Structure 1
C-alpha cells in the first residue's frame, strides 16, 4: 500500500490560506499541516491598515478560511507553535517541540516591520503595524481622537494609518525622507497627488526629514528630528518598510537574497522546499529577474499558484503585480512592473486635480504600469495593455475620447 504524502505549510498569512485551499481544490488527498504561531488561522493583512483599523471590519472578516474549513477538509491546523528548525536533508521541520516529516514544504513566513532602532524605540506609545493585535492596539490608541500622532515613513502603511488617524480626529505629522510621499513606489508626479490629498485633510508633511530619537520617560512625549528640531507627540507609528522572515530558511542553507530565492515555479535551492508570498524573491519571466512583492494580490495569486505546484502542476508564475489603497475619498488600483516604471514617463488621462484620473507609465512606447484613481472597471484593460506589450501613442493614452480598448491589438 502506498504511503500518503504529507505537505507542510509554514505561515500565518493569506499565502498560506490560499495555498492550502488550492491544494485541496486540485484534489490532493494526502496529509496537510498548516502551522502558525499567531494563535488564529492564517489571515489577511490589508484590513489591518484599512477597514479593521477604521473600525468598519470585524476580526472575523480578515480570516479567509475558518477553523471549520480546516476540519472539514482534513487539514491539521496548528496555531500555537513556531517553526524553529529545518533539516532539508532529512525532510523534517521542527514545529514547537515536534520534528515533523514532510514530502513537500511551503515556506510562507511573510515579513515583519522594520524597527526604529534609535533612542526611545522601547517607549510606550511607539507602534508598528503587522499583526491583528498590532492593529487592535493602534485602533484603541487612535479612536478617541485628540492625540498628536507622528508617522515615521510615507509609504502605503504610513499614509493609510495617517488617513485613519485623521478620520478619528487626531493631529497627524508624517516625517519621511524624499521630496514627496510614495516617490519610490509611484514616482514624484503621482506622489505629489497623495501629498496634496493628505495636506488637504490636515496632515502636516515633513518631507526630507528623519526622526533620530523618540523623546519621553516611560511614554512618548515627542520626537527629535535630524535637524535637532523637536515635535510633540503622544503616539509614534513606525512605517519604514518590512523585512522578510528568512531566518528559518537561512539556517537550513537555502539561498537568500532579499528574501528566499526561488525559480518561476516557487522552487527554492533545497529539494521539495517551496516559498511564496512576502518572503519569496521569485524569478519573473517577463522581467527576467527576481522580484519580491509585499502586496495583497501577490499573496492571493502566489498562494493559489503555489498550491497548484504543491499538488503536482508545473507552471511559470508571470502575474503582473497589483495593489490597491483607500485613503479618505481616494480609491486606487495599480498594476505594473515597478522596476520598469522607475525610469518611465508618466502620462495622465482625466482630472488629476480632482483626483479622478488614470496614470500610465510608458517606456519605449509601451505601457509598463498603470494606475486608476477613483475610476473603476478599467484595471483589467490596463493589465491587458501591459501584458500585450502593445506600442501606444502617448497622446492617445492621454485623450479620454480614445477608448483604452482600442489601443489593444486584436
Structure 2
C-alpha cells in the first residue's frame, strides 16, 4: 500500500493521519479539508474561543508545521466532490487524487431551520465550525436579546456563554424538558436550575413557529402564541452525519456511513471514522458524536488500514462545560429504567447513576470528577455496584472498585 487519502480535516481525520505516521507508514498521505484553518478543536469554539479566552492558534490540534514535517499533504480550502471507486481516485479541488485506501472522516452538519420559517434571515446562526462562531461573535453585546432554539448541550452551552457576557437569553425547547433526548429528568432538573440562576429564561414544551424580519431577524413567534423581540438567534437542534459524498459513491448507509467492526465500509478499500460512521455495538448499531470517539475510532481505523484487524470497542465518554460546572459523562444510558442521585463532596456537585435493572449503564457527574472517574472505571470493567450502595452517602465510592 503506497497511497492513503483522508477526506475531512477534523478531529478524526487529523487523528488518522498522525497515527498512520506514528505506526511507521512511509507512503503518501493526503488530508483534504474544506476549511481554511488546519485541523482544530471544536469544543472550545462555543465556549472559551467565543468568550475571547482562547486564541485561534491554541485551537489547532497540532502546529501547521507538523504536517509538512511528517510529509502529510494537507490540502485546505479543498472540497472533495466525488469518489471514483472503479479507478480509486478522489476528485477534489479540480484534481484527481489516487488512493490505495481511502478514509472518510467527513464529520457532521448542523440542522438548520427551514427557509419557510425564517431560517435564512441574517442573524440566524448555527454552532459548528470556526466560520460559524466568527460570524456570531460580534452579536454578543451586553444587553442584546438572543433566542436559542434547542435545549440540548449545544444550546445550553451557547446560553451559558451568552448569559456570562450579559445578554438577555431566552431558550425554547420543543420537548417537555431540556436534554430530554440525552439525559435523565434528574440531570435536566440540575441544569434547568443552573441556567435559571444565571437569568436564562427557559421555555420547555414550546416550539418555534417562525422568525420574523425583512432581511434580518427581529422577532420570533412561538408555538404557545407568544411573540419575542430578538436581536439574533442561535439554532442548536442537532446534527446529521455528513454522508452525501459516500452516498453518491454508492456506499451503504445506516444512520451514517455503515462500517463493520473494524471501520471498513461496503467497499473494502474505503473506511470511515468519527461522527459520520455507524458501527456494530452490542446487539445493534450506533454512531457516537464525541471527540473521544473520533480520536479512538480514527486511530483504530488507521491500524486496520495497515492490516491490524482490530475490532473497535468504544469506551464512551463525553463532557459539557456550562458556567463553572463541568459535566462529565461515562457510558451510554440507552435503556435505563432508574436513576440514582448522589450529592458530591463540594457544594453543587452531583452525580446521576443510570441503571437497567441491576446493571450500571452510565454516570452523569456535575463538578464531581471523583464520581466520574470511579463510574467510568466500573463501566469499563463491566462492574455494577448495588444501587443502594450508590444511593448511600456513607458509601466510599473508591471501595466499590475492589
TM-score (norm 1): 0.94
CA RMSD in angstroms comes to 1.6
Shift of 1:354: 4.5
Is residue 175–residue 204 contact of structure 2 (8 Å, CA) maintained in 1?
A: yes
Please tell me whether residue 53 in structure 1 is matched to residue 50 in structure 2: yes
Shift of 1:378: 4.3
3-state secondary structure, aligned to 2:54: coil
Moved more, 119-128 or 302-311: 302-311
Shift of 1:355: 2.6
**256 and 176 in structure 1: CA distance in 2 versus 1, 3 angstrom threshold:** same
Is residue 317–residue 330 contact of structure 2 (8 Å, CA) maintained in 1?
A: yes
Aligned pairs, how many?
Answer: 401
Please tell me whether residue 26 in structure 1 is matched to residue 27 in structure 2: no
Shift of 1:218: 1.7
1:337 alignment partner in structure 2: 332
Please tell me whether residue 371 in structure 1 is matched to residue 364 in structure 2: yes
Moved more, 157-166 or 64-73: 64-73
3-state secondary structure, aligned to 1:172: strand
Shift of 1:377: 4.2
Shift of 1:300: 2.2
Shift of 1:228: 3.0
Please tell me whether residue 402 in structure 1 is matched to residue 398 in structure 2: no
Shift of 1:365: 0.8
Distance 1:54 1:309 in 2: 40
Deviations 1:298-333 (A, max 9, x none): 222222222222233221111221111111121110
Distance 2:238 2:41 in 1: 18
Moved more, 58-67 or 33-42: 58-67
Deviations 1:124-177 (A, max 9, x none): 1111111101111222211x2111000000011100000000111000000111
Please tell me whether residue 275 in structure 1 is matched to residue 268 in structure 2: no
Deviations 1:18-69 (A, max 9, x none): 1111111111111100001101212221111121111111111221122210
Question: Which 4+ residue blocks in structure 1 deviate beyond 6 angstroms?
Answer: none
Is residue 9–residue 33 contact of structure 2 (8 Å, CA) maintained in 1?
A: yes
2:248 alignment partner in structure 1: 251
Shift of 1:179: 2.3
1:358 alignment partner in structure 2: 351
Deviations 1:171-203 (A, max 9, x none): 000011122211111121211111111111100
Shift of 1:339: 2.2
Please tell me whether residue 75 in structure 1 is matched to residue 72 in structure 2: yes
Please tell me whether residue 348 in structure 1 is matched to residue 341 in structure 2: yes
Distance 1:178 1:185 in 2: 12
Please tell me whether residue 320 in structure 1 is matched to residue 315 in structure 2: yes
Deviations 1:69-108 (A, max 9, x none): 0000011010021111112222111111111110111000
Distance 1:317 1:188 in 2: 31
Among 229, 233, 236, the alignment partner of 2:233 is 236
Query: Unpaired segments of 5 or more residues in structure 1?
Result: none
Is residue 336–residue 369 contact of structure 1 (8 Å, CA) maintained in 2?
A: yes
